[in-house]
């Protein structure tokens, strides 16, 4: 079988700019479609949020929601039966859902416990729609969708660096994981890297040899970067790179968000298919 390129990408700050536009990435997006290269959206966003962008992008490929909490695979996408695999799989009308994340109710209870222990934390579940819209820059309708979560709770924290260190250690001690992008996130035993690895195995089963790439802008993309052949870091909106990512093979592209994304994907396609 021919080598197949699979591209995984973050959304916020990567394929999308601060105004949630991917206009500057259109040339590379067209090239991906023309060459039939799967583009897998892998984001902290919820299923409904990602579906909105899949429609805008004319994307029909699997996607990963809420920092690896759920993998959604369109029915009949792979030639083999997803339901036969050794995962916690829920069959819906449109997708097979591979559930990796902890229930949202458990995350909310943990946020409440942390607050009762003196940590100044507030999750999306503690906020109204208007506050989420103001914090994120989303429209009210989009903020309402962002609040409906399944596997991951974004939260804000007020306190010193020392207090933050104590908070993160406490989250670990309670059996949960965390990551950081635009917000801090608390989650169960799931991350983008684990979800990417599972999808890679499914693609390999169908196509054989793969070349994989992942694009992101922040620390919560590091787990995803570790699982691919070409990890690509784009610049943040202020023109800087996230200094927390120290992978040796990391490629840094000169461009903010979708502008850098576009450059990287075009170069990547030329590299793989040259």
Spell out the domains of the chain, with CATH numbers in brackets.
4-101+191-273 (3.40.50.1000), 104-187 (3.30.980.20)
Cα-based torsion angle of the residue sequence 211, 59, 73, 261 in order, rounded to the nearest 10 degrees: 40
Residue 215 has a CB neighbour count (10 Å cut-off) of 30
Neighbours of 241 (CB within 10 A): 17
Mean pLDDT of 29-33: 97
Beta bridge partners of 6: 212
Is the pTM higher than 0.75? The answer reads yes
Residue 256 DSSP code: E
Q: Give the pLDDT of residue 224.
A: 97
Can you read off the two tokens belonging to residue 239? 């023109």
Q: Using the predicted structure, report yes or no on whether residue 1 has a pLDDT greater than 70.
A: no
Using CA of residue 146, residue 259, residue 211, residue 223, what is the dihedral sign? negative
Percentage of the chain lying above the pLDDT 90 cut: 89
Rounded average pLDDT over 194-213: 95
Q: Residues 122-127: what's their mean pLDDT?
A: 96
Mean pLDDT value across the chain: 94
- Distance from C-alpha of 179 to C-alpha of 135, rounded to nearest angstrom: 18
What's residue 176's pLDDT?
A: 95
Residue positions annotated with a catalytic role: 10
């Amino acid at each position: 079988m021919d080598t197949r390129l699979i591209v995984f990408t973050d959304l916020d700050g990567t394929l999308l700019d601060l105004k949630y536009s991917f206009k500057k990435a259109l040339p590379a997006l067209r090239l991906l479609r023309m060459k039939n290269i799967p583009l897998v959206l892998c984001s902290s966003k919820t299923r409904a949020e990602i579906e909105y962008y899949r429609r805008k992008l004319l994307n029909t490929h699997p996607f990963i929601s809420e920092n690896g909490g759920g993998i959604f695979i369109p029915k009949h996408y792979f030639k083999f039966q997803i339901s036969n695999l050794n995962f916690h799989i829920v069959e819906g009308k449109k997708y097979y859902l591979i559930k990796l994340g902890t229930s949202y109710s458990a995350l909310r209870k943990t946020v409440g416990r942390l607050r009762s222990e003196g940590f100044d934390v507030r999750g999306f579940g503690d906020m109204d729609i208007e506050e989420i819209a103001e914090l994120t820059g989303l429209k009210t309708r989009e903020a309402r969708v962002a609040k409906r979560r399944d596997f991951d709770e974004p939260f804000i924290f007020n306190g010193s660096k020392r207090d933050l260190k104590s908070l993160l250690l406490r989250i670990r001690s309670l059996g949960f994981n965390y990551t950081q992008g635009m917000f801090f996130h608390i989650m169960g035993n799931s991350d983008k890297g684990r979800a990417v690895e599972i999808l890679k195995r499914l693609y390999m089963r169908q196509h054989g040899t793969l070349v994989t790439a992942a694009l992101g802008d922040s620390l919560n993309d590091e787990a995803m970067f570790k699982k691919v052949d070409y990890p690509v870091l784009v610049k943040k909106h202020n023109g800087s790179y996230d200094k927390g990512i120290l992978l040796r093979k990391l490629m840094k592209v000169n461009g903010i968000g979708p502008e850098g994304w576009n450059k990287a994907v075009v170069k990547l396609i030329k590299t793989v298919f040259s």
